[in-house]
Amino acid sequence: MNGVFSDSVITQCRQDVLKKLKSKFKNCQTADIEDAIENAIFKYIQAINNNDRIERFDSKGKFESWLYIVTENEIIDIMRKNKKFINYEDEKETDNDEQLFQTCGEFIDDKIPFIEFITEKQDEYNIDNILKNFWNLVTKEDKLDSEEIIILQKHHIEGIDLKTLAGEMRKTSNSIYLKNIRLKEKIKEILKKKNIKNIEDLDY
């Protein structure tokens, strides 16, 4: 599959994502969630038109996972701009998500390896120290399996793209892509648990 899905497939994925996110963001208006999905779908269309890493969409499952993640971040942006849809408890959770997004940049949004984000901060922060602390933090929890450790080292620290890494590991691109999503969810939980809210928190 070349990443170009039929209208019926996109509609089905859209409905599934809408249902999940309506349940998660109960205090956000449905219209705003729908706007967020449309923004995400527009990004998908742009990526297809520009032939931009369309391997992200080489299966319906990968597309739906991508759509969910991107829409979720779009919703967080909308909720931040329109505070009346957020009560106190939800605001605290949303703020944490925003801070985590700032911590890892597009890392959480499954676009670039962690190394690419912190390299942009090289004039302001100690990259070597941040990398060392990041590695120690997420590996000492003993929650990552051997393949996730390889992806963390080769992709997120060394910057090798996932397609190339899949070949090196003799795995399908799809399996490595999905493994990377699960890896990031684990890392996100570790960052929350350790109260890592911004890049400075990793420079200790």
pLDDT (tens digit, 9 = 90+) per residue, 108-148? Answer: 444 455 665 566 555 555 777 878 888 888 888 778 888 99
For residues 151 and 166, what is the distance between their CA atoms, to the nearest angstrom? 9
Which of the four pLDDT bands, split at 50, 70 and 90, describes residue 27? confident
Highest mean pLDDT among 36-45, 95-104, 108-117: 36-45
**DSSP code at position 155:** I
Give yes or no for a contact between 93 and 25, defined as CB atoms under 8 angstroms apart: no
For residue 154, give the amino acid letter: K
- Complete domains list, the chain, with CATH: 1-86 (no CATH), 106-204 (1.10.10)
The CA-based angle 196-201-204, given to 5 degrees, is 135
Which residue blocks in the chain are alpha helix, DSSP H?
Answer: 7-24, 30-49, 60-81, 88-104, 114-119, 127-139, 146-151, 162-169, 173-193
Q: Counting Cβ atoms within 10 Å, is residue 20 exposed (0-12), middle (13-18) or buried (19+)?
A: middle
| Through-space distance between the first and last CA atoms of the chain, rounded to whole angstroms | 45
Chain mean position to CA 93: 17
